[in-house]
Each structure stands twice: as C-alpha cells, then as structure tokens.
Amino acid sequence: MRPIEFWGAYTSRTLRPLWVAEELGLAYQLHPIAPRSGETQTEAFTRLNPKQKIPCLVDGNVPGTLVLTESLPIGRYLIAAYGTKALAAPTLPLQAAREDEWCCYVLAELDETSLYVIRRHRDLAHIYGEGPEVVQACFEYLDRHLKVVDAALEKGGFILGDSFSLADIMLVSCLAWAKDYGATLRPASEAYLQRMTGRSAYQRALAANTPAQA
Ligand SMILES: N[C@@H](CCC(=O)N[C@@H](CS)C(=O)NCC(=O)O)C(=O)O
C-alpha cells in the first residue's frame, strides 16, 4: 500500500485527519503547508484543491487517485476505507446517526459558528475586519454549547458511550481549540480532554501537526 498524502498542518482542522491516521496505524506523508502563509495559494496546491484550504488528502491507492478536502469527510473516508476494530465505521443506522449528529453539531456550532468566527474577526481582523462585539457574542454562544457538551460528558467514557469514534476526534479538536482561545471548560469536559489527549495516537498526531517552521 502506498502512503497516503496529507496537505496542511498547524491547525485544529489539519490535526483531525492526522489523528485518524495515527489511530488507524496508517503510513502517510505530510506536506506541512501552513495556513495564511501563501502556501495554500500556489499553483500546484490550487490544482489539487481549488478552495485553497487545508487539510487535503491524496490517496493513490484508489484507482485514478482520490483527492478529498474537508476535515470531517476525510476522517470518515479513512475510517470507512481503512478502519480497524479499535476505530471502525458505525454499522447500525442508529450508531451512524448518533455519530453524525455529534460530528455535525461540533463542526457547525463549535467550529464554524463560534471558533472560526472568533478567528476571523479577532486573529484575522486585518482580512475580515475587527468585530469585538461579534467575538464577544461568539464566546457566549460557544459557552452555551460547551455546557451542552459537558452535560453529555458527565457519564465519562467517550462522547458516544463505550467506543472511541470520529465524534471524539471532532470534539477534542474543538475543545482544545476553545481552551487555547481562553474559554473555560467545565469539569467533565476538562477530564475528557485530558483522557483523550493522553492517547498515544493523539500525541503523535499533535507532533506531526506542529513541525518546526523554517
Ligand atoms: N471546513 C474546512 C475548513 C478548512 C479551512 O478553512 N482551513 C483553513 C485553515 S484552518 C485554511 O486553509 N485557510 C486558508 C489559508 O489559511 O490559507 C475543514 O474542516 O476542512
């Protein structure tokens, strides 16, 4: 089998596919292009991903070669194609629906509606404009959903119960991002974050995602 190629590093979104690959024990080659560095806008990368966004996956094991963008579908694809007993695609409709429910919730409400809007109107204000009121509203909105997440984590274990899943990868990436932005996590979420980030696959993915920059 040829190593899978990943493009993109340094962000919560690029961490997700790397973590999936590490959990699955997949061999991969990483092109650690950085966000907002101009490296997503080169001709070569734009041919691969016209969205000029990371992460991006290239799987040469598929006839015709698969190029896939968007962190959630990349994770889903890897698990569907190369899943193991420890990290498998859900088989029952109910399991699949619950996993989907959590993944979509995390992506839509924590990532895209809260954290990325904060990034745009605070860290990237030179591009998208300053928006202190927007940022404040996003932190409040984020906290409202962190409360929902915490209640779901009070039972311990994983977000779906007994088994580790893509929903954990999506959720942990956003909890760590929220914490990094100064949000306060409630006790069950903090304990869950410590448990999940203690996984050796997470540690390897984190190291791969933060290579020393030249
Ligand atoms: N919904 C996409 C978001 C991808 C995205 O917006 N990536 C950012 C970095 S986190 C990016 O590539 N921005 C363009 C750039 O920084 O050059 C995903 O989850 O993969």
pLDDT 10s digits, 124-177:
999 999 999 999 999 999 999 999 999 999 999 999 999 999 999 999 999 999
| CATH code of 135's domain | 1.20.1050.10
Does residue 97 sit in the same domain as residue 191?
yes
The reply to whether 150 falls in a domain is: yes
Output the pTM of the full model: 0.97
Q: 25 C-alpha to center of ligand 1: Å?
A: 25
The reply to whether 207 falls in a domain is: no
The reply to whether 212 falls in a domain is: no
Does residue 22 sit in the same domain as residue 60?
yes
173 lines ligand 1 (CB under 6 A): no
The reply to whether 18 falls in a domain is: yes
Does residue 23 sit in the same domain as residue 99?
no
Does residue 75 sit in the same domain as residue 98?
no
pLDDT 10s digits, 43-102:
999 999 999 999 999 999 999 999 999 999 999 999 999 999 999 999 999 999 999 999
Structural domain for 55, as ranges: 4-87
Number of domains in the chain: 2
| CATH code of 11's domain | 3.40.30.10
Does residue 145 sit in the same domain as residue 162?
yes
The number of CA neighbours under 13 Å toward the Cβ of 158 is 17
pLDDT 10s digits, 27-38:
999 999 999 999
Distance CA 78, CA 211 (A): 23
Q: 203 C-alpha to center of ligand 1: Å?
A: 22
Measured by CA distance, the residue closest to atom 6 of ligand 1 is 53
Q: 162 C-alpha to center of ligand 1: Å?
A: 31
Does residue 55 sit in the same domain as residue 121?
no
Whether residue 24 is predicted with pLDDT greater than 70 in this model: the reply is yes
**pLDDT given for residue 213 in this prediction:** 78
Residue that finishes a domain, picked among 69, 87, 105:
87
Residue that finishes a domain, picked among 35, 68, 87:
87
Distance CA 40, CA 9 (A): 11
35 lines ligand 1 (CB under 6 A): yes
Does residue 128 sit in the same domain as residue 148?
yes
Q: Which atom of ligand 1 is nearest to the CA of 74?
A: 20
The reply to whether 211 falls in a domain is: no
Q: 209 C-alpha to center of ligand 1: Å?
A: 14
Write out the H or E segment, with its range, that includes residue 56. strand 56-59
Measured by CA distance, the residue closest to atom 11 of ligand 1 is 53
Confidence of residue 214 (pLDDT cuts 50, 70, 90): low
Distance CA 33, CA 89 (A): 29
Does residue 10 sit in the same domain as residue 78?
yes
The reply to whether 14 falls in a domain is: yes
The reply to whether 13 falls in a domain is: yes
Does residue 97 sit in the same domain as residue 182?
yes
Does residue 66 sit in the same domain as residue 118?
no
Query: Which residues touch 184 (CB under 8 Å, ≥6 apart)?
Result: 143
Measured by CA distance, the residue closest to atom 3 of ligand 1 is 70
